[in-house]
Amino acid sequence: MPSVLFVKSLLLGISVAAPIGPIGMMVLQRTLKLGLKKGLASGLGVALADMICAAAVSAGIAAVLLQAGPLAWTLKLAGGMYLVGIGLRTWKAAADLAGEEKDLKGEGALSILLLTLANPGTWIAYAGAYAAIHSDLGSGWGLDYVLGVGLGSGLWWCFLSFFAGWLRTKLDRGMKRVMYRISGAMIIFFGLWGVFQLS
């Protein structure tokens, strides 16, 4: 029987993952371009990053990272610039759908995992959630919390990947070009927004 903490953490993992931000746009774009398997790999990479964040939060490591001002600033700058680069490549890919099956360097599951870990917002979200349910943890660092977050996040990314995979079979080349333009523009926007927030 799943514990109350596990269920709460599962719902938390879904709720943190569900809002469509830059990572969500990248998973959608990758699934549309390369198919369901690549999209699932990217989504599960994000879920793994969420588990790492949850584990670090419950172990007290995240508190140290979030207080390291220069480190957080550097991570936000690097993450924002990386998003801008990926957005520009996505926009450019719309003009050349002949190469859509090509798995571009720097757009793999590992890069998305690292980008998720480099996002201070992810750490802050799980730190806040941890504080809210800390009384349910008892002793230890909360294995149910970490596993629940990972499963919840993984379920969401699987749903999003399957949806994008289904959508991929319904779009003609013209509509794919439009989707690339939209996702590229949104990824660029999120990247620039992150950089501008540094000032």
Give per-residue pLDDT as tens, 129-142. Answer: 776 665 555 554 57
Share of the chain above pLDDT 90, in %: 9
Q: Cα torsion for 187, 190, 195, 199, to the nearest 10°? A: 160
Tracing tokens 């690549």 back to the chain, one arrives at 38
More confident residue, 30 or 98: 30
Top-confidence range, 1-5, 55-59, 74-78, 152-156: 152-156
pLDDT band at 69 (very low <50, low <70, confident <90, very high): low
Confidence (pLDDT) at 85: 76
What is the structure's pLDDT at 135? 57
Split at pLDDT 50, 70, 90, the class of 97 is low
Pairwise pLDDT comparison (80 vs 103), residue with the higher score: 80
Residue 79 CB burial class (10 angstroms; 0-12, 13-18, ≥19): buried
Domain of residue 134, residue span:
4-196
Q: What's the mean per-residue pLDDT of the chain?
A: 75
Two tokens, residue 180 = 């690339």
Out of 66-70, 146-150, 188-192, the most confident range is 146-150
Q: How far apart are CA 72 and CA 76, in angstroms?
A: 6
Cα 29 from Cα 10, distance rounded (Å): 26
The confidence score (pLDDT) of residue 2 equals 67
Measured between alpha carbons, how far is 161 from 41 in angstroms, rounded to an integer? 9
Q: Which of 52-61, 74-83, 180-189 has the lowest mean pLDDT?
A: 74-83
> Which amino acid type is present at position 78?
A
> What type of residue is 69?
G
Cβ-based neighbour number of residue 9 at 10 Å: 32
Of residues 37 and 189, more confidence is placed in 37
Q: How many domains does the chain have?
A: 1
The span from the CA of 78 to the CA of 191, in Å, is 9
Which tokens is 184 given? 């590229």
Q: What are phi and psi of 51, to 5 degrees?
A: -65, -40
- Among the listed ranges 15-24, 63-72, 149-158, which one has the minimum average pLDDT value? 63-72
Question: How many angstroms separate the CA atoms of 107 and 114, rounded?
Answer: 11
Name residue 87's amino acid. Answer: G
CA dihedral of 84, 86, 87, 88, whole degrees rounded to 10: 90
User: What pTM was estimated for this model as a whole?
Assistant: 0.72
Least trusted range by pLDDT, from 20-24, 91-95, 115-119: 91-95
Angle at the Cα of 59 (from 58 to 63), degrees rounded to 5? Answer: 85
